[in-house]
């Protein structure tokens, strides 16, 4: 690995050219690390079948080694190389949502090393829709393990600059495809269990899954803190995530008006105590907060995909602004709101004030 991370910029992210990605593919094929854009967040890629390469991911991220990686494939046909069987629910979901922001858990074949699956007998697989990601994986010629390309515990990267903030000097290359589209990580569904189970919410929502499958179970860790003695089905869900440096409080009230009022009160109190206060709000409420606080809009409450899109970037901006504490608005927990509230609750370390 070189000391400096090379950055290549894709000219047209909807139509990447082979020659732009050849060097990145060669780095992956020889067992080293390349960060690249997907439709969800930037991934930190390595050969998923090479245990030594997977180890490099854990080292670069500072990620606990029991937190398994997702194997990304370029074509549906490639899934059968990795998994022992594709249950009916898996087939239906692949038909409905692949390529796209949906990861499925299957029983693994021996070819997938335990170093990739964190010791589990199952493997997580996704076929991304992002043209650059797909072409890069195809050129590398192997499935690519690609967790979010951030330092473990920090907000996931949604731009190549975010990747560089965390990974400069630790990986060989970042492929810069501009800002990602969705902004939160893939939905994860375990189809290896009797009843398909949602392990992590994302842009493929619970409602969309139910429409295809009928019954879907939900791993209870999705919206609450992991209780002692309870093991989340996705091992990664037990770790504190996305944490900004400041202490963050998520405020829930019966109505938006009451929530804004509560945040105004809590924020003033903290300011009086001498703290530098940040407020995470929406376009609709931006004017309601004092201008001598660090007030940042995360997007439009009426269009939750904008909130997901900006979420991690705004958390990083609060770090740069050097605030001591952040009060955040909350969102309804259905549709895309489930993924948004999962990420915000984790960012707040489940520090939630309810009216």
Residue 124 near which of Mg ion, ligand AMP, none (CB within 5-8 Å, type-dependent): ligand AMP
Q: How far is CA 160 from CA 270, 285, 344, in A?
A: 35, 30, 22
Nearer to ligand AMP among residue 239 and residue 275 (C-beta): 239
Site for Mg ion in 97-156 (CB under 5 A): 148
Q: In angstroms, rounded to a whole number, what is the distance separating the alpha carbons of residues 281 and 84?
A: 46
Nearer to Mg ion among residue 48 and residue 323 (C-beta): 48
Q: Give residues with Cβ within 8 angstroms of 265, minimum separation 6.
A: none
Does 203 sit behind a cis peptide bond, omega within 30 degrees of 0 on the bond before it? no
- The least distance separating ligand AMP from the CB of residue 299, rounded to whole angstroms, comes to 22
Residue 199 near which of Mg ion, ligand AMP, none (CB within 5-8 Å, type-dependent): ligand AMP
Q: In angstroms, rounded to a whole number, what is the distance separating the alpha carbons of residues 79 and 97?
A: 15
Figure out which of the listed residues 236, 244, 278, 299 binds ligand AMP, where binding follows CB under 6 A: 236
- For position 342 contacting Mg ion by CB under 5 A, the verdict is no
Nearer to ligand AMP among residue 5 and residue 122 (C-beta): 122
Instruction: Please identify which residue in the block is written with the tokens 């804004």.
Output: 260
Task: State the residue number with the nearest CB to ligand AMP.
Answer: 236
69: phi then psi, degrees, rounded to nearest 5:
-105, 155
Q: In angstroms, rounded to a whole number, what is the distance separating the alpha carbons of residues 349 and 177?
A: 31
Figure out which of the listed residues 6, 26, 31, 67 binds ligand AMP, where binding follows CB under 6 A: 67
Figure out which of the listed residues 47, 122, 129, 187 binds ligand AMP, where binding follows CB under 6 A: 122
Figure out which of the listed residues 100, 131, 147, 202 binds ligand AMP, where binding follows CB under 6 A: 147
Q: In angstroms, rounded to a whole number, what is the distance separating the alpha carbons of residues 13 and 110?
A: 35
- For position 299 contacting ligand AMP by CB under 6 A, the verdict is no
Q: DSSP secondary structure string, 116-163?
A: HHTT-SEEEEE----HHHHHHHHHHTS-EE--BSS-TTSPPPSSHHHH
- For position 127 contacting ligand AMP by CB under 6 A, the verdict is no
Report the interface residues with ligand AMP, using CB under 6 A.
Answer: 67-70, 105, 117, 120, 122-124, 147-148, 185, 188, 199-200, 233-237
- Positions touching Mg ion (CB under 5 A) are 148
């Amino acid at each position: 690995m070189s000391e400096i991370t090379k950055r290549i910029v894709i000219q047209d992210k909807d139509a990447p050219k082979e020659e732009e990605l050849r060097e990145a593919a060669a780095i992956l094929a020889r067992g080293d690390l390349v960060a690249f854009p997907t439709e969800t967040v930037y991934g930190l890629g390595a050969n998923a079948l090479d245990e030594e390469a997977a180890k490099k991911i854990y080292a670069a991220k500072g990620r606990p080694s029991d937190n398994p990686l997702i194997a990304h494939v370029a074509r549906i046909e490639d899934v059968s190389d990795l998994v022992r069987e594709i249950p009916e629910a898996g087939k239906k979901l692949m038909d409905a949502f692949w390529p796209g922001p949906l990861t499925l858990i299957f029983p693994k074949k021996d070819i997938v090393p335990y170093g990739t699956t964190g010791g589990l007998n199952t493997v997580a697989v996704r076929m991304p829709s992002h043209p650059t990601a797909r072409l890069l994986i195809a050129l590398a010629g192997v499935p690519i393990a690609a967790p979010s390309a951030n330092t473990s515990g920090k907000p996931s990267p949604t731009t190549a600059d975010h990747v560089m903030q965390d990974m400069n000097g630790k990986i060989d290359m970042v492929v810069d495809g501009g800002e990602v589209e969705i902004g939160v990580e893939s939905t994860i569904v375990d189809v290896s269990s009797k009843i398909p189970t949602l392990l992590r919410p994302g842009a493929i929502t619970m409602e969309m899954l139910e429409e295809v499958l009928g019954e879907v179970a939900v791993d209870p860790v999705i919206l609450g803190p992991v209780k002692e003695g309870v093991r989340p089905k996705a091992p990664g869900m037990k770790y504190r995530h996305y944490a900004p440096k400041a202490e963050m409080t998520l405020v829930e009230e019966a109505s938006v008006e009451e929530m804004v009022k509560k945040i105004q009160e809590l924020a003033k109190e903290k300011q009086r105590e001498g703290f530098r206060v940040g407020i995470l709000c929406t376009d609709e409420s931006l004017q309601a907060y004092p201008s001598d606080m660090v007030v940042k809009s995360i997007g439009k409450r009426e269009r939750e995909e904008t909130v997901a899109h900006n979420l991690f970037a705004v958390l990083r901006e609060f770090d740069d602004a050097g605030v001591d504490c952040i009060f955040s608005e909350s969102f309804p927990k259905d549709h895309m709101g489930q993924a948004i509230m999962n990420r915000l609750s984790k960012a707040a370390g489940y520090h939630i004030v309810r009216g």
